[in-house]
Chain A
Amino acid sequence: MEGDDDGKLRELLKEWQAPGAPKSLDERMLRLRQPWWRVLLTGSIRIPVPVGVALAVAFLTMAGAVWREGRAPEPVASSISLVEFRPVNDLHVRVIRNQ
């Protein structure tokens, strides 16, 4: 009876067919065996969405900072030093008239 039940169950289980490996798996495996320089040229990587968003935000923030820095006016000297200023001690005034 048990064996008969097993046979029925086994036959029913066989009605669940599984597909073979898809072509996309072959393509991924082919990339795996490529030389490193070809991977650099043609490879792709999968990034989790949160990581991608974080990278995009960081990039935009940095780009914004660089852009703002480029547009900023030249800084003006805030104070004038008089350290090397020497006042004239011996002043001779000479008036030149029209000749």
Chain B
Amino acid sequence: MTSAEFRQAYESHKDSLFRFAWRMTGSTDAAEDLVHDCFLLVWRKKAAYDGSRGPLRSFLFGVLRNLALKRIGQERSFDELADDSAIAGPIDLVSRERGEIVAQAVGALPPLQREALILAEYEEMSLEEIGRLTGADLAAVKSRLHRARENLRRMLAPILDAKGTAYGRR
């Protein structure tokens, strides 16, 4: 990867990588650090990228998700991080904007469910692409995504089930 290619990769992917890191961590500073560290790592180990093994976007997301999970793992216990079948706890739905409520609900998901959901719903990646960059097989990705959606449906039920308005919009 030449300097020009690196620059182009940064310009093309910085926003989507930042959005992913921001949604994973819930922090602008943490997301900025993670994306910076991701590109720093890629720049220092340019030879690690093999174009024949998949698109650059998957490679960058793969590096970033490893850094993000490592950071999240430092803040949580290993059991909590590894348990992708965990059921998220209740969230506060009173006196909050809907965007904030969604952010809190997604943030309450176990990390592996959260990353699968963010990559599928917000970055519009296919199950195969998610599997490739997370190193999980297709069944595991489907299972994580299914559990994430179930958790969200349960947490956001008061909004989703509100009657007389479209999706609970006030």
Query: Are A and B interaction partners?
Result: yes
Assess the B99–A21 pair: CB atoms within 8 A: no
Q: Residue B19 at the A interface, CB < 8 A?
A: yes
Type the 1/0 row for A14-45, where 1 means its CB is closer than 8 Å to any CB of B. 01111111101110110011000000000000
| Docked CA distance A32–B15 (Å) | 18
| Docked CA distance A10–B117 (Å) | 10
Q: Residue B77 at the A interface, CB < 8 A?
A: no
Assess the A21–B121 pair: CB atoms within 8 A: no
| Known A25-B14, A32-B43; contact A18-B19, beta-carbon cutoff 8 A | yes
CB distance from A73 to the nearest CB of B (A): 54
| Docked CA distance A12–B159 (Å) | 9
List B residues 117-170 near A (Cβ within 8 Å).
121-122, 149, 152-153, 156, 159-160, 167-168
Q: Residue A51 at the B interface, CB < 8 A?
A: no
Residues of B within 8 A of A25 (CB): 14, 18, 32, 35-36
Residues of A within 8 A of B99 (CB): 15-17
| Docked CA distance A66–B125 (Å) | 63
Residues of A within 8 A of B153 (CB): 5, 9
Q: Residue A11 at the B interface, CB < 8 A?
A: yes
Which residue of A8, A13, A24, A26 is within 8 Å of B121 (Cβ)?
A13
Residues of B within 8 A of A6 (CB): 149
Question: Nearest B residue to A46 by beta-carbon distance?
Answer: B33
| Known A5-B153, A16-B106; contact A29-B10, beta-carbon cutoff 8 A | yes
Residues of B within 8 A of A12 (CB): 98, 102, 156, 159-160, 167-168
Q: List 29 A-B contacts (CB under 8 A).
A: A9-B149, A9-B160, A10-B121, A11-B167, A12-B156, A12-B159, A12-B168, A13-B106, A13-B121, A13-B122, A15-B102, A17-B99, A18-B23, A18-B122, A19-B19, A19-B22, A19-B28, A20-B15, A20-B19, A21-B15, A21-B32, A22-B18, A25-B14, A25-B32, A25-B35, A28-B36, A29-B36, A32-B36, A33-B43
Q: What residues of chain A have their CB less than 8 Å away from a CB belonging to chain B?
A: 5-6, 8-13, 15-22, 24-26, 28-29, 32-33
Question: Besides the contacts A5-B160, A11-B167, A33-B6, what 15 more A-B pairs have beta carbons closer than 8 Å?
Answer: A5-B153, A6-B149, A9-B153, A12-B156, A13-B102, A13-B106, A15-B98, A18-B23, A20-B19, A22-B28, A24-B32, A25-B14, A25-B32, A25-B35, A29-B14
